[in-house]
């Protein structure tokens, strides 16, 4: 009979085995496609440790497992964002991609812990973090890409007036709320 520590190690061993399988497959594909892994694949040096932390967190127990899984989600998401940025040469997207890394990445780790442990409270809060991270990413992406035009891809026409219009609308909403509140007895 195995104690709880032995079962925990078997879970960690399985997570490590899956991680090595994924890493080996990626290296094999890179070799087959003759990709320069130093130039193209360097984000995997961030993704793989993140997945390792995530696996340790899922295999672990208690609060430490939750923290490791959330940290692993953040590190793995940072690596995925770097992978996309490296492929598209758009590192300026860090202005809003941080929401995916910090909020959604932690949410993924928390959600996975909740699902694997049968803890609905953790899964629900992780789901909310994922949704909040995606929402913030979208809002900030529109703001930085359309309103400010950090990517240099703005149309130069009506897009330059969006910030002014948004500020005016926000001011009208706040003034309108104040005037309506003043009319109430």
Give pTM, 2 decimals.
Answer: 0.68
b or e along 55-69 (b: 16 or more beta carbons within 10 Å of the residue's beta carbon)? bbbbbbeeeebbbbb
**Alpha carbon 22 to chain centroid, angstroms:** 20
Predicted confidence pLDDT, tens digits, the chain (185 residues): 344 555 555 556 666 677 677 778 877 877 787 766 667 778 888 998 999 899 899 988 889 999 999 999 999 999 999 998 988 888 999 999 999 999 999 999 999 999 998 999 999 999 999 999 999 999 898 888 877 778 766 555 556 666 677 778 877 888 877 777 666 66
From CA 77, how far away is CA 44, in angstroms rounded? 11
From CA 86, how far away is CA 103, in angstroms rounded? 21
Q: Where are the domains of the chain?
A: 4-154, 157-185
Provide CB contacts within 8 A for 126, sequence distance 6+. 107, 108, 109, 110, 111, 112, 113, 114
């Amino acid at each position: 009979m195995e104690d709880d520590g032995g079962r925990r190690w078997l879970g960690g061993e399985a997570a490590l085995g899956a991680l090595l399988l994924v890493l080996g497959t990626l290296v094999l594909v890179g070799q087959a496609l003759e990709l320069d892994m130093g130039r193209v694949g360097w984000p995997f040096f961030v993704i793989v440790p993140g997945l390792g932390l995530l696996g340790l967190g899922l295999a672990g127990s208690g609060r430490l497992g939750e923290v490791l899984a959330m940290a692993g989600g953040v590190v793995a998401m940072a690596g995925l964002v770097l992978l996309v940025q490296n492929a598209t040469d758009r590192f300026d997207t860090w202005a809003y991609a941080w929401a995916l890394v910090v909020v959604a990445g932690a949410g993924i780790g928390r959600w996975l812990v909740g699902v694997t442990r049968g803890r609905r409270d953790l899964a629900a809060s992780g789901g909310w973090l994922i949704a909040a991270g995606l929402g913030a990413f979208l809002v900030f992406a529109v703001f930085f890409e359309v309103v400010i035009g950090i990517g240099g891809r703005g149309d130069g026409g009506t897009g330059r007036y969006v910030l002014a219009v948004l500020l005016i609308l926000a001011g009208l909403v706040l003034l309108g709320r104040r005037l309506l509140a003043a009319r109430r007895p």
